[in-house]
Structure 1
Amino acid sequence: MSAPAATRQPPFVTTDGTPLHVTVTGPGAAATTLVLVHGWTQDHRTWDRVLPRLPRSLRVLRYDLRGHGASAPARPGTATIDQLADDLAELLADRVPEGRIVLAGHSMGGMTIMALADRHPRLVGSRVDGVAFVATSCGQLDRITLGLPGVAGSGAARVERRLANLLVSYRRDALPLRPAAARAGARLLVFGRRPDRAAVASVADQLLRAHPASVGGFQQAISLHDRRVALAALRTTSAVVLAGDRDRLCPPRHAEAIAAELPGARFVRYPGAGHMLPQERAADVASQLATLLRTAARTG
C-alpha cells in the first residue's frame, strides 16, 4: 500500500531560529488538517505505515520535532516539552492558518499536544476538533521500570537517567550505537510480540538519526512531564486513547489515566502490542484516526 505523494515543503523556522523538517500530503484546500506528531528518538516516519491507510482526500501534516530526524538539534535549554508545544503552535499558525485541525501524538508527541492545550488554550479551543493519544502518558514517567520487577526495574530506571545525563553534554552529532545494537534494543524495549523486521529497522534508523544531546535533554523533560490537570482543556474535544498491553515505556495504566480525564474518549487496548502502535497496529491506528475525524466533523 503506497502513501499519497507528499508536497515539497520548505523547512519551518521557529522564532528561536530552529529549522524543522515538514511534509504535507493531500489537498491544500481541505477543510480539516490532520497533524501527526511523533515521539522521543523518532521522526515523521513513525507514521509511514499509517499514512497510506488514511483517506486520500485528507490533508496530513507531519514534521520532525527539534533534535530529531531532519530537523535541527535543540538549542541549549530548549529540549523541553513546553518548547515542543510552542513549536507546534507556531507551525500551525504558519502552515495551517485556516480550517479545522485534528491532532494525533505518539509518545512524546502526545505529551506535546497536552502541553499545547495547557500553554495555548485559545488555539486548541478555537480550532482543534479532535485529539488522539497513542501510547503516551500524562505524568509520573519518572517511575517507569521498563517492565522489570523490583530491584531490577529500579536499577534499569537509574541507568536510563544516568545515560540521559551523559547524553546532554555529548558533543557528537550521532549516537555511539551500531545499527545492529539499535535494532536489538528497539526489539527488546519498544515492541510487543512478533514485531515485523522492517518496522524494527525503521525505528532503529530513526533513533540513529536523532541528535544525542537533544535525546538526553528530552528524556529528562519526559521524566518531569505532568499534564494530567491540563487535560481538562480537552474534555469537550473528541478524543481517542490507544495503548498496547505490552508497552514497557508507557504502560496501559498511563493511557487509562488519560482516558479517565476525558470522559467522552474512546479507550482501546491492544493485546500483544508494545509501544510502537503506529508500526505494530498501523491499520487499527488508521481506522481509529478515521473514526475520530468523522466524529470531529460532526461535533466541530
Structure 2
Amino acid sequence: MVEFITVNGAQLAYELSGPKDAPLMITLHGGRGMGDHRSDYKVYGRLNDMIRVLSFDFRGHGQSSRTKPYTFKQIVDDIEGVRQHFSGPDEKVIICGGSFGGFLAQEYAIIYPLKVSHLILRGTAASHHRRSHDCLVRTLILTPTLDEAGAIKTLEARISKVPSFSKDMLRDKVFGAYDDDEDFRLVHFAMMPLYREDYDANTGLRSCRDTVYVAESHSKSYAPTYAIV
C-alpha cells in the first residue's frame, strides 16, 4: 500500500515491507521526470522475507508532490532524509539504483559514504554524458551507445521503427528540455516502439496514459557539470 512521508518539505510516496529488525534496502527508480517506484517495488519487494524493502517516488515524480527544487543535490538529500526516518541517524542501509536512479545512488554514496552498507547498481554509468539518456539506454540499445552522438547514430539505423520520432526530438527534447508535460508525453509515446522488438501499440498507449510526466523535473534533475569521474 502506498503511503506518504514529508521529507525536506516534499510529500514522498513510498511502499515498505519486511521485518522491522532486518537490514533496510532503499531502491532508487529510473526514468528522469517520468519514472516511479512501482516496478522496483514489484521486483525487489519479493525479498521482503529477508530484508526491509523501501521504494519511493522522487519529488517531481510519480505520486510524490511537485515540490521544487528538482535538483540532483535535493533528491540526494531527500534520500538521506528517507534513510534517517526509517533507520535512525546512524544505521547503514543498502542503496540500490538503476539507470537515472543509479546516478543518484552513486552520488549518495559519495556524499554519505558512512550511511551505505552495500551499493547495488544496474544499467547506469558514472556520468550522464557517457551514456545516453536512461530511456535511450534501454531503447536504442540493440548495440550499446556511449554518448549522445552514438545514440543519434543508432537511431538513424532504426528510424524506420519510429516514423513519428526524429533526430531533432532526440537531440532537443530527450537530451535537452521538453516544452511542457504534454510535449514530454507525446515525444515519449512516439519513441516507445524502440523499447522492444515485440512492441504492442495498445500496451504502449496504456503505459503512456498511466505514466506521470513532469517536464520541469526532467529538465532540471541534472546539474550542468554533473559527473562522478
Shift of 1:87: 0.8
* 1:58-101 Cα deviation digits (max 9, x unpaired): 210000001100111141xx222221111101110112227542
Q: Normalising by the residue count of structure 1, what TM-score does the alignment of the two structures yield?
A: 0.56
- AA aligned to 1:194 is D
Distance 2:190 2:167 in 1: 22
Moved more, 91-100 or 34-43: 91-100
Equivalent residue, structure 1, for 2:215:
212
Residue matched to 2:24: 33
Structure 1 unaligned blocks of 5 or more: 1-5, 229-300
1:95 aligns to 2:86 (yes or no): yes
Mapped to 2, the partners of 1:158 and 1:33 lie a distance apart of 39
Partner of 2:142: none
Alpha-carbon distance, 1:43 to partner = 0.1
Contact conserved, 1:67 with 1:73, CA < 8 A, in 2? Answer: yes
Q: 1:118 to 1:150 in 2, by over 3 A?
A: same
1:43 corresponds to: 36
**Number of corresponding residues:** 201
**Match for 1:23 among 1, 15, 27?**
15
Equivalents in 2 of 1:110, 1:199: separation in Å? Answer: 27
Measured after TM superposition, the shift of residue 106 of structure 1 is: 1.3
- Is residue 184–residue 214 contact of structure 2 (8 Å, CA) maintained in 1? no
Matched residue, 2:148:
144
Q: Is the 8 A contact 1:106 1:134 kept in 2?
A: yes
Contact kept, 8 Å, 1:68 with 1:209, in 2: the verdict is yes
- The letter for the 1-side match of 2:84 is A
Check whether the contact 2:72–2:104 (CA below 8 A) recurs between aligned residues.
yes
Name 1:289's counterpart in structure 2.
none
Secondary structure of 1:47 counterpart: helix
The residue identity in structure 1 corresponding to 2:27 is L
Taking only aligned residues, the RMSD between alpha carbons, in angstroms, comes to: 3.4
Matched to 2:94, the amino acid is: V
Report the Cα distance in structure 1 between the residues aligned to 2:10 and 2:40, rounded to whole angstroms: 23
- 1:119 equivalent to 2:111? Answer yes
The answer on whether the counterparts of 2:14 and 2:56 sit within 8 Å (CA) in structure 1 is yes
Q: By how many angstroms is 1:19 displaced?
A: 1.2
